[in-house]
Structure 1
Amino acid sequence: MQALLRLFRGARLPTLWAAVLALSGCASLIPQTVDLRTQWPDGVPRAVELSQVPFFPQDEFQCGPAALATVLTHAGKGIRPEALVDEVWLPARRGSLQLEMLATPRRHGRVSYRLEPRYADLLREVAAGHPVVVLQDIGPLLTQWHYAVVNGFDYETGTILLRSGLQQRQQMSFTAFERTWIPGGYWAMVVVPPDRIPATATEQRWLDALLGLARGGDAEATVRGYTAALQRWPDSLPAAVGLANQLHARGSLDEAARVLRTALQRHPQSVIVLNNLAQTLSDQGRHGEALALIRRADDTQSPFAGEVRATRQLIEERMRARGG
């Protein structure tokens, strides 16, 4: 196996891939690297290096804050690792858990998005300009968890480039990197501004990430994230409802109503859109329009029947209070 790793680092690809396939016992330990031989991701260049990604040498055992400062600064939120220690560093564990790694960027108005456990997705994100935080086991004998940031790769030499520890430009072979990446289940994440959706994001996973951002308390960032979602997936009902809810919560009732009217054109039978639009119109004092909408929703069997009844009751009470 050590001979294979040395060969991988220096060989040209035709020879390299042949050597990998010939040593089937070792190849079985690096399945995704082997797959790249015939399934290099479409549209991904053969070599990328994000040289503008900042570098923060880590203090002892504090690779989590250093990795987060790297990607947060790259995402436009300049911050030093020492400012993140109390948020992410767990002294009892002498490290940072993945939950803290995902949660911390959200408190700084950025979206943390966990990647699918695929080498191809990591490469796509780096090619799209997004450095990727990865969890590795770098212990030579015993487990030693470590966070690093992938900021480049080179297909021809089979090399992954990382900001890692005290090394500003660590080079690892594809095989060696995958071996360190496997024990953590290929865990990886990117940190992006809320209006920049990751290259590999799916609608549902992006919306899940925005729920985490909303819990972080940055309402304006959450609005930007939902707006970006609707631009990417204009027929997304959850994105429209989520955006309207955020707009309503900050008092932007006209904007919320516009979003919901557009959603109603695309989803005319949606009970939740009818309900929320009726609520918004009533909050604007347009109770007659609101009542007509909520009656449409009331005619439909749905899991939201209780909410619809409550909204209708509220509208009718407001109309009686106004004497009309």
Structure 2
Amino acid sequence: EGVPFYPQKEYQCGPASLAAVLNYWGQHVTPEVVAQAIYLPRLKGSLNIDLWRYATAQGFDARMQEGSLKELQAHLASNQPVIAFLNLGFSFFSIGHFLVVVGLDPDQQVVIAYSGTEKDKRIPLREFLSDWKKTQYWSLIITPKKET
């Protein structure tokens, strides 16, 4: 609830996902500004490490981790959107894709995500987990820095 949606431009799933989560936490930034910093034209995409670096440079706590369905549920229950990296391709031809998980409907067995140009896309849980497993369940958890 309350996560801004930015439809991605071609190959811009990383910047769009990152902009959505950073704006959710109060950092006003556009996907275009994020893309200038992290998008790599020769790769037609962004590197996982660069999403983490950008969030950290903006003053956020950011953790890259191997996630799980249980952790995903816990973050969502704490109102923390999660950037997940999926492989929509095959073992011999990968197609990496970042999306923002904003909800989970266990009754319907779907993950609700901002993906590409679709807001609140309902992805069958089995499909999501299969594509997520191919990236070792890569997740990026971004939260405001705690005051020390």
Identify the TM-score tier after normalising by the shorter chain.
Answer: over 0.9
Pick from 110, 117, 121: which aligns with 1:159?
110
1:139 Cα deviation after fit? 3.1
Report the structure number with the largest CA radius of gyration: 1
In structure 2, give the amino acid aligned to 1:103: R
Matched to 1:190, the amino acid is I
Identify, as 1 or 2, the structure richer in helix. 1
**Is 2:66–2:136's contact at 8 Å kept on the other side of the alignment?**
no
In the alignment, which residue of structure 2 is the partner of 1:107?
A: 57
- After TM superposition, which residue ranges in structure 1, 4 or more long, deviate above 6 angstroms? none
Identify unmatched segments of 5+ residues in structure 2: none
2:20 corresponds to which residue? 70
Which residue pairs with 2:130 in the alignment?
179
Q: Deviations over 1:269-315 (max 9, x none)?
A: xxxxxxxxxxxxxxxxxxxxxxxxxxxxxxxxxxxxxxxxxxxxxxx
Return closer, same or farther for 1:116/1:185 CA change in 2, 3 Å cut-off: closer
Shift of 1:87: 1.4
Matched with 1:132 is 82
Deviates more, 1:134-143 or 1:100-109: 134-143
Q: How big is the alpha-carbon RMSD for the aligned residues of Structure 1 and Structure 2?
A: 1.4
Given that 1:163 and 1:169 are in contact with CA atoms closer than 8 Å, whether structure 2 keeps it comes out as yes
Letter in 1 for 2:103: G
The CA distance in 2 between the partners of 1:86 and 1:162, in whole Å, is: 24
Aligned to 1:270: none
What is the TM-score of this pair, normalised by structure 1?
Answer: 0.44
CA distance in structure 1 between the partners assigned to 2:40 and 2:116 by the alignment? 18
| Cα displacement (A) at 1:129 | 0.3
Question: What is the rounded CA distance, in whole Å, between the counterparts of 1:181 and 1:116 in structure 2?
Answer: 10
Partner of 1:293: none
Partner of 1:146: 97
Letter in 2 for 1:66: A
Where relative contact order (Cα < 8 A, 6+ residues apart) is larger, the structure is 2
Cα distance, 1:85 vs structure 2:
1.0
Give 1:127's aligned amino acid. Answer: A
State the 1:138 CA deviation.
1.7
The whole-number CA distance in structure 1 between the counterparts of 2:72 and 2:66 is 9
Deviation at 1:118, TM superposition (A): 1.6
Matches within 5 A, 1:39-118: 50=1, 52-118=2-68
Letter matched to residue 118 of structure 1: S
Aligned equivalent of 1:191, options 125, 142, 146: 142
Q: How much does 1:99 deviate?
A: 0.8
Q: TM-score, normalised by structure 2?
A: 0.94
**Which structure features the higher share of strand residues?**
2
Alignment of 1:233-252 (within 5 A): none
Superposition deviation, residue 115 in structure 1:
3.4
- Once the two structures are TM-superposed, the CA of residue 183 in structure 1 deviates from its matched residue by 1.0
Corresponding pairs, count:
147
Is there any run of 5+ residues in structure 1 with no aligned partner, and where? 1-49, 196-223, 228-324
